[in-house]
Amino acid sequence: MNEILERLALCIEFGKINKTSPYPPNMKGQDGADELAKLALNEGVKPDEILENALIPAMEIVGGKYSRKEIYVPQMLMSAKAMNSALAHIKPFFQSGETKRKGKFIIGTVAGDLHDIGKNLVAMMIEGGGWEVIDLGVDAGTDKFLKAINEHPGAVIGLSALLTTTMENMKNTVSAIREKHADLKILVGGAPVTTDYCKKIGADFYSPDPQGAVNYLKQLVS
Ligand code: B1M
């Protein structure tokens, strides 16, 4: 692999955002994801290659470590921040249509629920996996989901809930989406959600963590 991409992948894996970022201490003073993504583009590396050969594999490593509890939320957030700083250089190419995304993914935390840390991690990992993410934020009611679905036909839908009380709203939103868009794929997650609950409310897939969500989307387009 190109040496710049190898270094970029390490920055994502260990959460090195840019040169001035003090984290992680053993990479202090070195170029970060920001500088290296810019350098790779300047050296003529294609945005697709940066995504496919550095960002995605590095985020897969991060997701795997998180699933195995080898790292925790703070490290994952630093990796996600580093990834975002690299993505900022690549995004214009996706937006201009020069580089194709794998698909669209609409995600939101369900009505009445203000927890967004887990939802943001899932959104960032999926974006790092090459998907365009439409983030509806927190307290996203059924109408908000239906409006986004009309604006982005064919998108995969993701709902997050952290409260046992708002799981009921997850069920209502899934039912309303199913009524109008029987063919859409719906992914659910959040601490109180389970595979049984996913089946019960008629969603397609439950993932306990971001990497499972990325893998699910990956197999939808493979
Ligand atoms: Co709240 N809160 N909270 N809270 N809060 C919990 C969830 C709670 C378990 C704490 C407790 O009592 N032990 C409890 C829920 C109890 C229950 O329902 N059974 C609770 C409560 C009760 C409340 C309030 C009602 C408290 C009050 O006001 N009396 C209130 C509700 C507000 C509301 O939403 N309407 C409230 C408020 C808050 C804060 C605003 C203070 C803050 C949220 C800040 C924010 O998100 N911006 C907060 C926090 C931080 C927590 C805890 C401490 C941490 C949640 C978190 O971010 N975890 C939480 C206790 C705990 O979990 N230890 C708690 C880290 C995050 C990475 O994990 O979100 O599970 P998580 O996401 C995971 C997976 O679930 C999965 O991937 C993520 C990464 O692994 N995942 C998905 C998540 N969404 C997914 C979607 C997918 C796939 C996977 O596909 C679409």
88 and 50 belong to one structural domain: yes
Identify the pLDDT of residue 91: 81
3-state secondary structure (DSSP) of residue 55: helix
CB 142 within 8 A of CB 172: yes
The whole-angstrom separation of Cα 54 and Cα 51 is 6
Q: Give me 72's structure tokens.
A: 């925790």
Dihedral-angle region of residue 101 (phi above 0 means left; psi in -120 to 50 means alpha; beta otherwise): beta
Q: Residue holding tokens 């927190």? A: 138
pLDDT above 70 as % of the chain:
98
Coil, helix or strand at residue 127: helix
Residues within 6 Å of ligand 1 by CB:
73, 107, 112-119, 121-122, 158-160, 162-165, 187-192, 207, 209-210, 213
Residues 55 and 112 both lie in one domain: no
Domain count, the chain: 2
Same domain flag for 110 and 209: yes
Between the CA of 162 and the centroid of ligand 1 the distance, in Å, is: 5
Same domain, 61 and 110: no
Residue-averaged pLDDT of the chain: 94
Ligand 1 atom 78 nearest Cα:
118
Which residue CA neighbors atom 52 of ligand 1 most closely? 115
- Regarding whether 113 and 88 lie in a shared domain, the answer is no
Residues 7 and 113 in one domain: no
The domain boundary, picked from 34, 61, 95, lies at: 95
pLDDT (mean) for 191-219: 96
Counting residues of the chain whose pLDDT is more than 90, the rounded percentage is: 81
Q: Which helix (H) or strand (E) holds 134?
A: strand 132-135
Task: Verify that 40 and 119 share a domain, yes or no.
Answer: no
Instruction: Give which of 115, 105, 107, 77 is closest to 192, Cα–Cα.
Output: 115
- What domain range includes position 15? 3-95
What is the residue type of 38? K
Same domain, 132 and 71: no
Ligand 1 atom closest to 161 (CA) = 84
Residues 85 and 113 reside in one and the same domain: no
Q: How confident is the model at residue 191 (pLDDT cuts 50, 70, 90)?
A: very high
Residue 163's pLDDT is 98
End residue of a domain, out of 47, 62, 95? 95
Domain boundary at 73, 95, 117, which?
95
CATH number at residue 140: 3.40.50.280
Residue found under tokens 């897939």:
205
Neighbours of 79 (CB within 10 A): 30
Q: Are residues 123 and 153 in the same domain?
A: yes
The CATH number that applies at residue 34 is 1.10.1240.10
The residue behind tokens 């009309």 is: 150
Of 100 and 166, which is predicted with more confidence? 166
pLDDT in tens, 82-127: 998 998 998 888 766 677 789 999 999 999 999 998 899 899 889 8
Q: With contact defined as beta carbons under 8 Å apart, do 102 and 130 qualify?
A: yes
SS3 1: coil
Could you tell me if residue 203 is left (phi over 0), alpha (psi between -120 and 50 degrees) or otherwise beta? beta
Least confident of 49-53, 160-164, 168-172, 179-183: 49-53
**pLDDT grade, residue 209 (50/70/90)?**
very high
pTM: 0.86
Tell me, yes or no, whether 45 and 135 share the same domain. no
Q: Which residues contact 20 (CB under 8 A, 6 or more apart)?
A: none
> Measured between alpha carbons, how far is 107 from 122 in angstroms, rounded to an integer?
9
Predicted pLDDT of residue 97: 64
Q: Are residues 129 and 50 in the same domain?
A: no
pLDDT tops 80 at residue 22: yes
